[in-house]
Amino acid sequence: MSGAPSFGWPARWPRYRMRRILTEAASAVLGVVLLVWSLLPVYNMLLIALDPEGDNEFAGYIWPPDPSLESFWVVVSQGHWYLENFWSQFGNSLYLGVATAFLTMLIGSLASFTVEQMQLRKARMLTNAGLLTYVLPSSFLAIPFLSVAKSYGLSDNLWAVIAAQVMFATPFAILILQQYAKLIPIELDEAARIDGASPVQLYRHIYLPLMTPGLAAVGTYALLLAWSEHLYQYMLLSSARNWTVAVGLEQFWDSDEAPWNYMMALAIVYALPPIAVFYALRRYLAAGLMMGRVKG
């Protein structure tokens, strides 16, 4: 028995090794392909943004002959008439994102507290019905939403966009918060009830502190959703004062001879905050997505 492997192995060794080398080589090739695939469009953005001549010509470089950060400077110093409202647009985008995140956390946590902690049955029906908006494509609802916003007196108002984003984010937020709430030991609720705590005290002193990771995931999700969305902002905001960066980008897009290097610089500046948030919190996000999407 002990002799068999020592006879068998040496003959097999080269093939085994060969196979391993092939596997490693294949995965290295795949790695390079994935790297190029993932970075090529990002590199393209940088290439155009770094070309100082890009505002009047568009030549097929694969490497910027004379890279310069000028277009980024033009964006932050509002140095072109397309960009004269950049900081106001940036502020509006930020306002939109933060308001959406805050309201989604507040409304979502209150509703999920009622459903999961207080077990109000009719409320559960309501939150389940809300999940239908999660599978409703937002572009399909855009046209009637515009007319509804008008009838509410919210046309050309950032709050119409906030309302739309909160509406789309809350059902998913409740779903995630319900999954998290199942981890809260019910005896804490029980003990607090015996001590005479009111539902408000329970919510503030027990539920919210224990739910912090879940709320962080939900808030990030809503912030990224509102920041990256484009159609509702473009449709609902008409005066330059209310524009967000997404609408500013669209303005470049609609023009035939806009300075493309400034547009790409603006696109990069616009993409940086969500990327930073995303990478800082991606563990929470991935966990939240798993809970909400896959476990249903």
User: In the range 200-259, which residues lie near another protein by CB under 8 A?
Assistant: 200, 203, 227-228, 230-231, 235, 246, 249-250, 253
Asked if residue 94 binds another protein (CB under 8 A), the reply is no
Shortest Cβ distance from residue 99 to another protein (Å)? 13
Exposed/middle/buried for 143, CB within 10 Å: 0-12, 13-18, 19+?
exposed
Region for 95 from its dihedrals, namely left if φ exceeds 0, alpha if ψ lies in -120 to 50, beta otherwise: alpha
Interface residue with another protein, options 182, 204, 205, 241 (CB under 8 A):
182
Shortest Cβ distance from residue 10 to another protein (Å)? 22
Shortest Cβ distance from residue 191 to another protein (Å)? 9
Give CA–CA dist 270/274, Å, rounded: 8
Closer to another protein at the Cβ: 2 or 119? 119
Shortest Cβ distance from residue 78 to another protein (Å)? 19
CB 27 within 8 A of CB 35: no
Asked if residue 65 binds another protein (CB under 8 A), the reply is no
Closer to another protein at the Cβ: 11 or 62? 62
Interface residue with another protein, options 141, 208, 216, 258 (CB under 8 A):
141
Closer to another protein at the Cβ: 3 or 149? 149
Give CA–CA dist 12/20, Å, rounded: 13
Lookup: tokens for 16: 């085994």
- Hey, which residues between 14 and 33 contact another protein (CB under 8 A)? 27, 30-31
Asked if residue 76 binds another protein (CB under 8 A), the reply is no
Shortest Cβ distance from residue 144 to another protein (Å)? 4
CB 246 within 8 A of CB 92: no
Interface residue with another protein, options 29, 69, 136, 240 (CB under 8 A):
136
Interface residue with another protein, options 41, 65, 153, 209 (CB under 8 A):
41
Shortest Cβ distance from residue 133 to another protein (Å)? 5
Give CA–CA dist 44/144, Å, rounded: 37
Interface residue with another protein, options 138, 157, 208, 258 (CB under 8 A):
138
Q: Percent helix, strand, coil in the chain (nearest 5)?
A: 80, 0, 20
Interface residue with another protein, options 94, 98, 208, 289 (CB under 8 A):
289
Handedness of CA 177, 178, 181, 182 (dihedral sign): negative
CB contact burial 166-189 (16+ within 10 A = b; e otherwise): bbbbbbbbbbbbbbbbeebeeeeb
- Binders of another protein: how many residues, by CB under 8 A? 103
Nearest alpha-carbon partner for 55 in 250, 261, 252, 248 = 261
Interface residue with another protein, options 96, 99, 176, 264 (CB under 8 A):
264
Lookup: tokens for 89: 């647009």
Asked if residue 282 binds another protein (CB under 8 A), the reply is yes
Closer to another protein at the Cβ: 3 or 60? 60
Asked if residue 129 binds another protein (CB under 8 A), the reply is yes
Asked if residue 98 binds another protein (CB under 8 A), the reply is no
Q: Coil, helix or strand for 262?
A: helix
Q: Coil, helix or strand for 50?
A: coil
Q: Coil, helix or strand for 1?
A: coil
